[in-house]
Amino acid sequence: MPSVLVVEDDPSIRQSLIEVLSEHGYAVRSAADGFSALREVTQTPVDAVVLDLGLPDLDGGDALRMIRGISSVPVLVATARDDESEIIKILNAGADDYLVKPFSGGQLVARLSAVLRRTSHVPPAGGAGAPVAAAAEPLRATVVGELAVDPGARTAYLAGRELRLTRREFDLLAFLAHHSGQVVSKRRLLTEVWREPYVDDQTVDVHLSSLRRKLGERAAAPRYLLTVRGVGIKLVAPR
């Protein structure tokens, strides 16, 4: 049974999240503020954290960075902040995914299950009869122009400089590098990188925007990540 720590200061929202996750087979603990969450993560490891950003004692972004300083536990951020720059900052701080409030219980369970499959490989709640996804094709080390990506070592270098990527950014870059020169649709990325084909395409857009910035380019002036309008994205060596 996967264990989840819910960090939410609003009592009614916290109770609703606890009930939804419990009904879907998760063992749920909770905290109402950032420092309590840090104590929980330190004292009793969990399989995932659902983290609100509007906490009474710490900004959720600061709480996330502090959690990342002591643990690699997957963190799903629940936030009312829908500005793209804020979402990028959250992902760069170490979040594995995000949900913008308000969201349904079904969205929460689907995102959390996907995060657990991608990161800790904890079986999704739902019992032994739940379908098991086929193993993903192993990715090989790839060099594209001055970009070198090694999935085994989980490292990426651009012109000899190591890139500081979030877990999701690295997975996205490694997949595109493995299929360099090919146009990959956002739907395929959601299916094979996120393992969650029903998530909104904006999830891919946000990660691509952050990845472009770290590669030193913009959508209007791409070097490695070329958008093929209406089709998808492909990674190529700059000309």
Cβ–Cβ < 8 Å for 4, 50? yes
- In three state form, how does the secondary structure of 83-147 look? CHHHHHHHHHCCCCEEEECCCCHHHHHHHHHHHHHHCCCCCCCCCCCCCCCCCCCCCCCEEECCE
Structure-token pair, residue 156: 């990426």
Helix, strand and coil in the chain, % to nearest 5: 35, 20, 40
**Range 128-134, long-range pairs (CB < 8 A, 24+ positions):** 133/195
What's the pLDDT tens digit per position in 151-166? 878 888 998 888 998 8
pTM for the whole structure: 0.59
Residue 143 has pLDDT above 90, yes or no: no
Q: What is the per-residue pLDDT across 106-140, written as a single tens digit (0 to 9) for each?
A: 889 998 998 888 775 454 554 433 433 334 445 56
H or E segment to which residue 77 belongs: strand 75-79
